[in-house]
């Protein structure tokens, strides 16, 4: 009998989530069925999109149920297999996160290969869903082309840091990022090689962006929404594109966010704003893994992780993520990772 | 010596324009130069986009200068020609509107052919800039496809009435329009063959649109902005497209318009909002003229005009246009049209 310790949604958060919105539960896993594998999770993902699933609102994914274990990305090791395609000892990427152990349908598990020098947790970040989000959003949704001036908000996060570096490696004329602390700004300009970066808490976003991009921008990759989107619309050049990936500034809002006030500029400047999800872009995954995996393995592309230890710390990790306490991907380490 | 009576901008309107923002002037035209033609205007166009040019703000077209004659679309007859490509007696479409007579560079004049049963004023509306705006915006910017459910706001205007009918003739599953009076709604549902129409003054746009399109919409063609855009975002289906052509609801606003509050929905529903101008789509003009000219000549496509007589009435025509007093294209008739 395998026991799993799991995180459940205890109450729907109002505004910013608090610890009492979550509860821990211990459960015994049922017997494994044909086509399933039993997995011991090593790393769990907490991601901004999960905030939306905690509301009882119709959205692109159904809401998490109260008093049930939540789901999310996870990397784990296979302890037992009743599926031909997966062997005991394999490492798999799957969606039964927020728990230490899980029975997973093999059809929903991807067997991972070890890339030299790349930890398995990278498959939850730069080589996983956030990395593919950056890649597909920049190349498809924003229609990035070499020579573009690119602005990305939330640039020190898992998605944003990949966006800026992919843009740089693919020939952007200039890459600009915003983040919410001086330390993150230093990280962007230094380690990640952004051409300019600013702390949005230092002053109005529009003024700081104008200083960083006096001739305007061609592409905006939006992780933040609100004032950031308004500033980007002001600075986008004629024919510019914005890929709208997230609006984390509004995720904890209890009232609708009445912005951007300058939306009418999209007519005169013939701008395209395109909202997107990563889901329909998984056809790109192999191409992405080859290309970005190469950048990562060669060290041309950096990534950072903020790691929290233990399943009981997962709610705090998520709360901290929404408060911007991470640099790069926020990871919860739960298992033996030897 | 040819004298021209002209309309000048006397003051930059604050909010809704008023008669004192305009002034009349009489001027003698200078001698004709090589490459020019002298034109007696027959019909002048007043269009919503002109409101933006009356502000002293950077926009996609430079602002009108104070105490100078404004410009705009016009159809006129050639009185005198110093250009090989244009003959005396030709009818031309050009941009020296807001006046009775003009010296026009032949390179900027398009010689019109008479279509049987179609008045020359149609080249300012259904067969001119507004018609091409509808055609290019629907087919290119909104990526309309047969089978789509289409919603167009400001549907009784020159652009909107063309959008709805082109969509219907090209196989829309359902065409819905909004307008600002009961008479216009009757016109849409009756004469123009819209599947549904509503008066946005009768109640919240979102509720009326939901009733008209219970399964949602695929395409939104926006002439109005504000509450209309917010309602459309709520009703757009996954993967839907909005072509943003105008936001007349905000043109007279003195404060930025803080809408739409539900913009974050463009992520989950993977919506594309594309602002556009007609200017870069003139490569479609010949195709458009053949196709839509055919619809108009055959009577499959209807159009309406609201005509005001005399150059001195042009300011009132423009003021009335912004107040929604037109059905179809607002035209100022200034010359002998025999």
B23 plus B99 within the same structural domain: yes
pLDDT category at B258 given cuts 50, 70, 90 is low
Does B293 map to a domain? Answer: no
Contacts A280 to B, Cβ<8 Å: 270
The answer to whether residue A296 sits within a structural domain is no
Residues B205 and B101 in one domain: no
In our burial notation (b when 16+ CB lie closer than 10 A, e otherwise), range B54-71 reads beeeebbeeebeeeebbb
DSSP conformational letter for A272: E
Q: Is A96 helix (H, G, I), strand (E, B) or coil?
A: strand
Contact residues, chain B, for A259 at CB < 8 Å: 258, 263
B contacts of A216 (beta carbons < 8 Å): none
> How far is A282 from B63, CA to CA, in rounded Å?
47
The 3-state DSSP class for residue B94 equals: strand
Tell which of A279, A296, A317 closes a domain.
A279
Residues B162 and B120 in one domain: no
Where do runs of H (alpha helix) occur along A106-244?
Answer: 129-136, 158-169, 182-189, 205-212, 227-235
Q: Tens digits of per-residue pLDDT, B95-128?
A: 999 999 999 999 999 999 888 888 999 999 999 9
Instruction: Enter the tokens of residue A168.
Output: 């740089």
Nearest CA in chain A to B260: A258
Please write the tens of the pLDDT for every residue from A259-317. 688 999 999 999 999 999 999 999 999 999 999 999 998 999 999 999 999 999 999 99
Final residue of a structural domain among A263, A279, A295:
A279
pLDDT for A251 = 75
In a domain, B135, yes or no: yes
d(CA A331, CA A45): 5
Claim to verify: residue B114 and residue B25 sit in the same structural domain: yes
pLDDT value, residue A338: 46
Tell me: do B183 and B120 sit in the same domain: no
**Per-residue pLDDT at A231:** 97
Mean pLDDT computed over every residue of chain A: 94
Q: How many CB pairs under 8 A join A and B?
A: 98
Structure confidence at residue B76 as a pLDDT band (50, 70, 90): very high
Which band of pLDDT confidence, cut at 50, 70 and 90, is reported for residue A256? low
- Closest Cα partner for B123 from B213, B23, B13, B43? B43
pLDDT category, A61, cuts 50, 70, 90? Answer: confident
Q: Give CB contacts under 8 A, 24+ apart, made by A180-183.
A: A180/A156, A180/A324, A181/A324, A183/A327
Is residue B120 domain-shared with residue B140, that is, in the same domain? no
Closest CB to B275 among A247, A260, A270: A270
The pLDDT score that the predictor gives to residue A31 is 95
A277 CB neighbour count, 10 Å cutoff? 19
Do A138 and A256 fall within a single domain? yes
| Chain A residues within 8 A of B60 when measuring between CB atoms | 238, 267-269
| Residue B144 pLDDT greater than 80, yes or no | yes
* pLDDT tens string A154-203: 999 999 999 999 999 999 999 999 999 999 999 999 999 999 999 999 99
Residue B255 CB contacts under 8 Å (≥ 6 apart), including other chains: none
Look at residue B285 and tell me if it is in a domain: no
Separation of alpha carbons A52 and A65, rounded Å: 12
Average pLDDT over residues B1-21: 95
Q: Are residues A269 and A141 in the same domain?
A: yes
Quote the number of domains for chain A. 2
How close does chain A come to B130, measured CA to CA in Å? 15
For B246, the closest of A261, A265, A267 (CB atoms) is A267
Instruction: Supply the pLDDT for residue B183.
Output: 95
Tokens 């306490």 belong to residue = A325
pLDDT interval class at B338 (50, 70, 90): very low
Cis bond leading into A260, ω under 30°?
A: yes
Q: Is residue A212 part of a domain?
A: yes
pLDDT at B259: 66
**Looking at the structure, do residues B160 and B229 belong to the same domain, yes or no?**
yes
Report residue A263 as tokens: 């939306």
Identify whether A295 is part of a domain: no
Q: Classify the C-alpha dihedral A252-A257-A261-A263 as positive or negative.
A: positive
User: Does residue A179 share a domain with residue A150?
Assistant: yes
Residue A291 lies in a domain: no
Q: pLDDT by residue (tens digit) across B211-220? A: 999 999 999 9
Query: Do residues A245 and A213 both lie within one domain?
Result: yes
Task: Write the residue in A268, A273, A280 that is nearest to B60 by C-beta.
Answer: A268
Instruction: Report the chain A residue with the minimal C-alpha distance to residue B237.
Output: A60
Q: Which carries the bigger pLDDT value, residue A118 or residue A147?
A: A147
Domain extent for A155: 129-279
Rounded percentage of chain B residues whose pLDDT exceeds 90: 87
Percent of chain B at pLDDT > 70 equals 97
**Cβ distance of A272 and B270 shorter than 8 Å:** no
Read off the tokens for B248: 């007349």
Same domain membership, residue A182 and residue A47? no
CATH number of the domain to which B216 belongs: 3.40.50.720
Residue A285: inside a domain:
no
Indicate which CATH number applies to the domain containing B107.
Answer: 3.90.180.10
CA distance A30 to A85: 21
Q: Per-residue pLDDT for A144 more than 90?
A: yes
Closest chain A CA to residue B247: A264
Longest dimension (CA), chain A: 65
């Amino acid at each position: 009998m395998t026991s799993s310790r799991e995180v459940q949604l205890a109450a729907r958060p109002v505004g910013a989530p608090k610890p009492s919105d979550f509860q821990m539960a211990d459960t015994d896993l049922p017997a494994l069925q044909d086509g399933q594998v039993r997995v011991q999770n090593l790393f769990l993902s907490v991601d901004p999109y999960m905030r939306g699933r905690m509301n009882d609102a119709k959205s692109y994914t159904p809401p998490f149920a109260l008093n049930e274990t939540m789901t999310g990305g996870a990397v784990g090791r296979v302890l037992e297999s009743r599926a031909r395609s997966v062997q005991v000892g394999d490492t798999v990427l799957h969606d039964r996160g927020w728990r230490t152990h899980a029975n997973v349908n093999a059809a929903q598990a991807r067997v991972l290969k070890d890339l030299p020098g790349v930890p398995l947790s990278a498959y939850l970040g730069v080589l996983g869903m956030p990395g593919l989000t950056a890649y597909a959003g920049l190349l498809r949704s924003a229609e990035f082309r070499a020579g573009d001036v690119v602005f990305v908000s939330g640039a020190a996060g898992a998605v944003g840091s990949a966006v800026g570096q992919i843009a740089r490696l693919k020939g952007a004329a200039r890459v600009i990022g915003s983040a919410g602390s001086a330390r993150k700004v230093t990280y962007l300009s230094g380690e990640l090689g952004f051409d300019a970066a600013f702390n949005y808490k230092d002053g109005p976003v529009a003024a700081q962006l104008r200083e960083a991009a006096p001739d305007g921008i061609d592409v905006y990759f939006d992780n933040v929404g609100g004032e950031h989107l308004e500033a980007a619309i002001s600075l986008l050049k004629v024919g510019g594109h914005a890929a709208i990936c997230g609006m984390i500034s509004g995720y904890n809002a209890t009232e609708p966010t009445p912005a951007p006030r300058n939306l009418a500029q999209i007519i005169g400047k013939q701008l395209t704003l395109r909202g997107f999800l990563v889901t329909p872009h998984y056809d790109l995954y192999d191409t992405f893994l080859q290309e970005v995996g190469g950048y990562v393995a060669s060290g041309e592309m950096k990534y950072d992780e903020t790691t929290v230890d233990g399943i009981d710390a997962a709610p705090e990790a998520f709360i901290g993520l929404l408060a911007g306490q991470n640099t790069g991907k926020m990871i919860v380490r739960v298992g033996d990772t030897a």
